[in-house]
């Protein structure tokens, strides 16, 4: 009988009868690290809260004014623990620039600009925030706001009509120690 070969024509190093079940006492128990069950290790996380944009949205609100980005708000009740906040959006602008900021309980925590200063045509791209912050115990509201830099500019996000190019998502994860 010919020696078994891999799909790519390489020799097979192990035959099925050579593979032994792993588990308790083998040193390769997938549920244990250094002899401790995963639930015994510190640093677990609560179930993440996520909102995803499902409708096409846009704004023409001009800086220094800001508009809440539709569907990009989460209210969470936490202990006195670190919270990981992740936001990303695929967007475009008619012209020029758009600005985004992340607020926790009304205070700005992060901000970003997008686009080109002197563009006369649409600009496509993405924006993202990753924030790690310890919050006091209690209820907190985390939201994203956006605006544009010129009267003749609009920023768009089309997760409904063009989900392969556009998206918006906000995720909040409380980390427990």
- Report the candidate in 85, 61, 83 with the shortest Cα–Cα distance to residue 145: 61
pLDDT in tens, 14-49: 555 555 555 555 554 444 444 544 444 445 567 689
Q: Is residue 36 part of a domain?
A: no
Q: Is residue 4 part of a domain?
A: no
Q: Is residue 19 part of a domain?
A: no
pTM of structure: 0.72
Distance CA 74, CA 122 (A): 30
In this prediction, residue 167 carries a pLDDT of 93
pLDDT in tens, 90-115: 998 887 788 999 999 999 999 887 76
Q: How far is CA 147 from CA 93, 98, 108, 136, in A?
A: 11, 6, 14, 29
Q: Is residue 164 part of a domain?
A: yes
Q: What is the domain-level CATH number for residue 112? A: 2.60.120.760
Q: Where are the beta strands (DSSP E) in 29-161?
A: 32-33, 36-37, 49-52, 57-59, 67-78, 82-93, 97-104, 107-115, 123-134, 138-148, 155-157
Give me 110's structure tokens.
């992060």
Q: Is residue 41 part of a domain?
A: no
Q: Is residue 35 part of a domain?
A: no
Question: Domain of 138?
Answer: 49-174
In this prediction, residue 113 carries a pLDDT of 77
Q: Is residue 165 part of a domain?
A: yes
Q: Is residue 157 part of a domain?
A: yes
In this prediction, residue 120 carries a pLDDT of 62
Residue partners of 39: CB distance under 8 A and separation at least 6: none
- What is the count of structural domains for the chain? 1
């Amino acid at each position: 009988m010919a020696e078994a070969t891999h799909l790519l024509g390489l020799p097979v190093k192990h035959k099925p009868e050579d593979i032994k079940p792993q588990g308790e006492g083998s040193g390769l128990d997938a549920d244990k690290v250094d002899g401790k069950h995963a639930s015994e290790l510190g640093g677990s996380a609560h179930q993440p809260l996520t909102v995803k944009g499902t409708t096409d949205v846009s704004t023409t609100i001009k800086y220094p004014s800001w508009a809440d980005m539709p569907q990009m708000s989460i209210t969470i009740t936490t202990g006195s623990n670190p919270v990981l906040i992740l936001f990303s959006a695929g967007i475009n602008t008619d012209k020029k620039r758009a600005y985004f900021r992340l607020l926790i309980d009304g205070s700005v925590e992060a901000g970003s600009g997008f686009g080109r200063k002197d563009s006369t045509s649409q600009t496509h791209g993405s924006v993202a925030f990753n924030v790690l912050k310890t919050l006091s115990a209690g209820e907190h509201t985390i939201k994203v706001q956006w605006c544009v830099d010129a009267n003749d500019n609009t920023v768009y996000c089309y997760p409904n009509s063009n989900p392969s190019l556009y998206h918006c998502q906000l995720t909040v994860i409380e980390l427990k120690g």
